[in-house]
Structure 1
Amino acid sequence: MFSPRSFLVAAAAVIGLTAPLLAPAPAAAQTKLKMVLNWKYQGPQGWFFLAEDRGYFKKAGIDIQMDQGNGSGAPIPLVANGTYDVGFGDINALIQFAATKPAEAPIAVYVMYNQPPFTVAVRADSPIKSPKDFEGKKLGGAAGDGALKLFPALCKIAKIDCTKIEVTNMQPNLREQMLMNKQVDGVFGYVNTIRFSAKLMGVADKDIRYINFGDYGMNLYSNAIIVSKKLVAEKPEVVKGLIAAINQGLQDALKDPDAAIAAVAKREPLIKPDVEKDRFMATLHDEMNAPEIAKIGLGNVDKERLKKSIDILVEANGLTRTPTVDEIFTDKFIPPVADLPKKLF
């Protein structure tokens, strides 16, 4: 005879037996990665934060910590010595590091800045018109600044005497202030970093001029995602997931720059969103928009061009060893060319 109570008891027993089978599997363990950026939290970091906020790192099994940096040259030794797993830094600093310490050197896996942003900024009323005019003057920059690290190469290529130039280190946040207060005659940096940091101080574009390294034969790549050899060897799937997440964050940022700036503001509420959006757009235009991306995609490199860059740095800096292209960059972790950005506007 059917009994509702006995049916419920039996059903409960069955559910109890099968519940473990029906419960969702625990989430896969997340790989913790520490990443150091090139600079302070600003508009051009928006794609990294958008990737985090939209869960792309988590989907790739990555729990990421992104810290502010102190110059594009600084991430290289920090990744090399294991302080960080990942860096967003200057590939030219990587080339110089790899020339002297090949066993320790990290490797670039996704190149974002494909046009040379390196500059010495001077006041508009300065008598400095070309690199030759640096002689007898005082220039300043942050110790980890990518342009400062490339200055010996510029000296050789532009045929100027570096020994006649006083170079002083300064805190990154004092750079534009020291320039405009005439404490130095010029400052090293990236054009758009200086330009918009000065703008935040109330300095108009017309009040600053730029002596750009690219105008003197230094057609170099710049900032890239750089990872440790240890991570590549031990967790290649994590590196591939990391790059896929960053690439998707960049794609999203290109479609919605305002969302990228909002992601930065979430971490640094004191930014001025309109200025940071302008900085974001200028970075796309001036530092990431090389014609080659229409064919090979943003993130990839023209290997012949990279080889020429390596040769320029080796010769200009008198390095005793020439790293190979494959020591500096690998394309094994980037998405297929069809999935890379090919047009930024």
Structure 2
Amino acid sequence: MTDLLPLRFILNTFYSGPQAWFFLAADNGHFAAEGLEVTFTEGTSLARAVDTMTTGDYDAGYGDLNELVRMVAEGRADTPVAVMAIHNRPPYTIAVDAAGPIRSPADLQGKHLISHPQDAAMLLFPEFCRATGLDPESVKITISDAPHTEMVPQMLAGEWDGIFGFVNTVAAQALEAGVDAPKALRHITWIDHAPAFGGGALMVTRAFRDRHPEAVAGLCRAVTAGLKDCVADIDAAIEAVARRNPALDRAANRARLAGTLALEMGDAAAQGGLGDIDDARLAEIARLIVAAKGYARTPAPEEIFDRRFLPPVADRARMPANGAPT
């Protein structure tokens, strides 16, 4: 067999359900079939993964598309480039007590929220406020490293008014904490109030893209195959995660994975398959970020996303016609 090309890959967080397609791609031989030997490293957040890719220690990663846009707009010359949109819709939320008074972004005025240090939803809060008319200065935000399994019960006990995070991550970790998330939590989501934004995307460094364009195309094909495998057998997908994280709460992470496939990935798959994001939307994300952050230049879509490596539309992953697998 031809020697495999090593590829160092930074994940968004610890090994968990909503990354399962990457591990199925490895375990089912899709990376090897493309001539790749992928080594995964656990990350600390979807947003931070983008900056981590600038260190030179990684060739590819799973990062937040919006943070990539922000870094390019800021004028960074070392940013990676997105080559495949995994999420078609933003996963971000502010989770609040379903029995409480917060029902819309306007109700967040004067409230106290909590967030992890590099949570992508929190980092996009100025843009969320700009899109919804909320004054960000009217909201107090506390930064904490505590897990959502602690934050959710404390929020429900009145310690703060809302939690930044991903819809399915907060819900699943509420489940781990013994909370009935569908009944206990209400979500003020970016999907409902700032839908232009993207979510998780497959990224590569510009140097790796320029040196190994065929490997980048192979990476996109292999991840697409892993996504198809994930849709076909969600239980096998969770077992692929558990092989890397034996302490995994299978039920909670299965719920996270199923929710991610349905919420952030379901609509695109029902139409044209996962992977692409149109230039008009990329331009709108850039416009919103530049306006909120006060940057001098708005990056062009081609500075952010390179779709040349995507599989043909007919070969892309899709969800079942009746929604994500359960």
Equivalent position of 2:61 in the other structure: 87
What SS does the aligned partner of 1:148 have? helix
Equivalent position of 2:185 in the other structure: 208
The residue type paired with residue 59 of structure 2 is: D
The equivalent position to 1:65 in structure 2, one of 39, 49, 60, is 39
Q: Distance in 2 between matches of 1:301 and 1:36?
A: 22
Q: Distance in 2 between matches of 1:76 and 1:35?
A: 11
Contact 2:97 2:184 in 1 (8 A): yes
The yes-or-no answer on 1:134 pairing with 2:108 is yes
Deviations 1:22-56, CA, capped at 9 Å, x for gaps: xxxxx333222221222232222111111111122
The equivalent position to 2:14 in structure 1, one of 32, 35, 40, is 40
CA deviation after TM superposition for structure 1 residue 163, in Å: 1.7
Equivalent position of 1:233 in the other structure: 210
Between the two proteins, what is the percent identity of the paired residues? 36
Q: How does 1:1-345 map to 2 (within 5 A)?
A: 27-171=1-145, 173-174=147-148, 175-204=151-180, 205-290=182-267, 292-344=268-320, 345=323
Contact 1:71 1:142 in 2 (8 A): no
Q: Distance in 2 between matches of 1:172 and 1:78?
A: 22
Where structure 1 has 5 or more consecutive residues not aligned to the other structure, the ranges are: 1-26
Which has the larger displacement, 72-81 or 30-39? 30-39
Q: Distance in 2 between matches of 1:281 and 1:293?
A: 14
Deviations 1:71-128, CA, capped at 9 Å, x for gaps: 2111110112323221211101110011013421111101010012211011223332
Distance 1:68 1:178, change over 3 A: farther
**Structure exhibiting the larger radius of gyration computed from Cα positions:** 1
Q: Distance in 2 between matches of 1:97 and 1:120?
A: 24
TM-score, normalised to structure 2's length?
Answer: 0.91
The residue type paired with residue 178 of structure 2 is: G
Q: Distance in 2 between matches of 1:182 and 1:234?
A: 53
What SS does the aligned partner of 2:45 have? coil
CA deviation after TM superposition for structure 1 residue 244, in Å: 1.3
Contact 1:157 1:316 in 2 (8 A): no
The residue type paired with residue 169 of structure 1 is: I
Q: Distance in 1 between matches of 2:152 and 2:293?
A: 28
Distance 1:179 1:84, change over 3 A: farther
What SS does the aligned partner of 1:73 have? helix
Distance 1:254 1:122, change over 3 A: same
Q: Distance in 1 between matches of 2:214 and 2:112?
A: 48
Q: What's the C-alpha RMSD, in Å, of the aligned pairs? A: 1.8
Equivalent position of 1:15 in the other structure: none
Q: Distance in 2 between matches of 1:294 and 1:127?
A: 35
Where structure 2 has 5 or more consecutive residues not aligned to the other structure, the ranges are: none
Contact 1:70 1:145 in 2 (8 A): no
Distance 1:247 1:196, change over 3 A: same
